[in-house]
């Protein structure tokens, strides 16, 4: 799966480097809140280098870094750790590498939009226990609004994030979901 994602990203980069549209980089800060048994919370920043294909659509490549608290509560892993803790928390960072597509509903002015990030997340552990985590596929559809300024625009968005994850100490996958709140600036 990693090889396929890396191949798709490399193919996209080669197409992207020959694009004739307008280059529109953006930066974003976000807060992600876990909505399943794993209650993962994270705070991070992202950069997206995108090309506007037309007035309504742009595509780009993004990356970033997030600091994350993995909290395991009363499900799955708690059976293993119950003799030590009722809840167990680990900290880590992760670096996503993704393709982004964004579709605005209006050509000018305040414009709602839909976007989607699709990519792979790399894991940086801060403890020996967290080393057993392996992240993978990340999908993040979002709804937001662009607010134009004299130069660039500010945007806010809310997103649903799905993150694939394996944990070596547990036989089952420990994929998780988050609601993400973001604010950013497009140059």
pLDDT digits (tens, 9 = 90+) for 134-147: 778 999 999 999 99
pLDDT digits (tens, 9 = 90+) for 19-52: 556 899 999 999 998 887 666 788 999 999 999 9
142 located within any domain? yes
Rounded Cα gap, residues 37 and 169, in angstroms: 17
55 located within any domain? yes
23 located within any domain? no
Lowest pLDDT segment from 1-10, 36-45, 172-181: 1-10
Per DSSP, the residues of the chain read -HHHHHHHHHHHHHHHHT--SEEEEEEEEEEEEE-STT--EEEEEEEEEEEESSSSEEEEEEEEEEEEEEEEESSTTHHHHTTT-SEEEEEEEEEEEEEEEEEESSSSSSEEEEEEEEEEEEEEESSTTGGGEEEEEEEEEEEEEEEE-SSSEEEEEEEEEEEEEEETTSSS---EEEEEEEEEEE-
Domain with 181 in it: what CATH number? 2.40.160
Indicate the pLDDT class of residue 172, thresholds 50, 70 and 90: low
25 located within any domain? no
Containing structural domain, residue 152? 2-16+31-186
155 located within any domain? yes
72 located within any domain? yes
Cα 12–3–16 angle (5° rounding)? Answer: 5
172 located within any domain? yes
11 located within any domain? yes
Q: Which tokens is 119 given?
A: 């990519």
Instruction: Say if residue 17's pLDDT is above 60.
Output: no
Cα 65–32–148 angle (5° rounding)? Answer: 80
Instruction: Say if residue 80's pLDDT is above 60.
Output: no
Count of domains for the chain: 1
Q: Which of 156, 184, 169, 175 is nearest to 35 (CA)?
A: 175
């Amino acid at each position: 799966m990693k090889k396929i994602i890396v191949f798709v990203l490399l193919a996209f980069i080669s197409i992207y480097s020959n694009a004739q549209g307008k280059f529109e980089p953006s930066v974003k800060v976000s807060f992600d809140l876990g909505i399943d048994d794993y209650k993962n919370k994270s705070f991070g920043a992202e950069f997206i280098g995108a090309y506007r294909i037309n007035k309504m659509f742009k595509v780009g490549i993004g990356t970033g870094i997030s600091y994350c608290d993995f909290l395991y509560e009363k499900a799955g892993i708690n059976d293993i750790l119950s003799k030590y803790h009722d809840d167990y928390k680990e900290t880590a960072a992760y670096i996503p590498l993704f393709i982004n597509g964004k579709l605005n509903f209006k050509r000018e002015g305040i414009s709602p939009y839909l976007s989607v990030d699709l990519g792979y997340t790399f894991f940086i552990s801060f403890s020996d226990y967290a080393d057993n985590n392996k992240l993978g596929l990340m999908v993040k559809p979002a709804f937001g609004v662009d607010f134009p300024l004299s130069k660039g625009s500010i945007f806010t968005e809310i997103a649903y994030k799905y993150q694939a994850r394996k944990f070596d100490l547990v036989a089952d996958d420990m994929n998780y979901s988050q609601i993400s709140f973001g604010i950013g600036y497009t140059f």
